[in-house]
Structure 1
């Protein structure tokens, strides 16, 4: 740590400008004692946070994505002078920023060699230091976001190192979130090496690098359940025919599977559609369906006759039942927001 401080002081002496190194959350780590400072620099050091306008400038100028030094303009409304910014990167990851306060424009681009060298050393030190719990959580969330976006072996390796996980660590995803897991945006949670026999929406645990697939499976399962799927267990592994429903091509309309789905959906009242779903899901059992619908069997028989008139399907016989049931399931799945 002292070595970086010495480099910062030496760099400020060579350039004749104030130098500041901060982490990716703009918390100051090392700064020079010499050189003119502005309000932004002073506040960053004394209060450990920059003014909101200055922090917003970092994002507005695209500094988190920059690979080379960037000269930032003055921001008079927050008393921020012109300066050079060198994003600190360790591999592909942003770990902080090195700032050279240069209101007088004395540092040319050709003078930045020592600045870039100091930035590289600082980035390496920041990346290797033991993170605080807050930094660790922030880092974990960043790596999880990368993994949710798609398969990422590098992010998986970094997360295993950060959390001291086994090289063979596997994950399952609960949706909605359950206790003792890493919370994901949108309401899910990640569970590492769950106990045998545990049930999660994503089904059988997958390698950490395949977290995106586990999330997709968990969300599909949750969506099927909201659509009324009756599963032996609320998990991807038990979806059965709902795998076909979830995987149906977007241009496949329920009416192409059976026109009865569109006919029932077009009725002014939903009773016939609800009755058809219930009876079909109960395998044509009238007694059980009447109990679940809370109606008299006479009323149910009337509805069954009306459904047959509209769709041409007798829900107690085999012909056409499977196609109509699949069409109704697809319609319900499409109607539920992901």
Structure 2
């Protein structure tokens, strides 16, 4: 819908928007140079004010089959505009539409074109009617079905989608849905939600596990779904992981899953040697200080610098395991002598 509205706005050089029958603002074009106070208020509140709706209704938009010109109302801060009803038409055949036949199907919503100078011509109105028909044809597609298709096949996204998305998987599927979900679907084992912005955390629920993907572009939605699903199932299987875990927070499992990142990148050679010795000796500070010929105070200072550099808690068992595995992988990657 956003793509259609932006294309229409560019073609007719007017701001356009779509409301539902309850006055909720569903979408609006990015063009807004001609916005009047009523449009600005609707964008900010996502709702058309009752007094505006009453003025619009007085001009017969609820029963109209074609474009309706709604005059300006200075007292309401409202410029003139054109309403194109979005109707549920049974006339899917292009030949019937081209013949000028109109259907008496129910109204689904309203496409609005700002027209302060009342200069929109027949060509512009015809383009608006075509856009309204496209919106009506897609109106009934279940958002959850669209999300399922996007997450499982990667189809259905376009460049007007959010720049970044995140996926959340909930186990079991009966857990509360995410507050900021665009849509989602439920399987026999889990629920998956496409989030319109990165999650800021959900309160813990008894017996419910959540896995979150990295944020990424919508073209990578299937990969985000795989990440969230993996994170959720690992969190459910391993009590050492938190009940709400992100793909980035899977610790040693990232290496087991073949994720190509290096948690040791911030360390220099001496720090890496100190950390490896400490972990090889089971985190025993006295034995580590002796092996490195350090006073214990100096060892603690080094470990503190290492923890700061990594942004990690060296007292956490899963963190230690991941770092220890990474240190041994470095040795493995160095290869064997000929």
> How would you bin the TM-score normalised by the shorter chain?
0.3 to 0.5
Higher helix share: 1
- Of structures 1 and 2, the larger Rg is shown by 1
TM-score, structure 2 length as denominator? 0.36
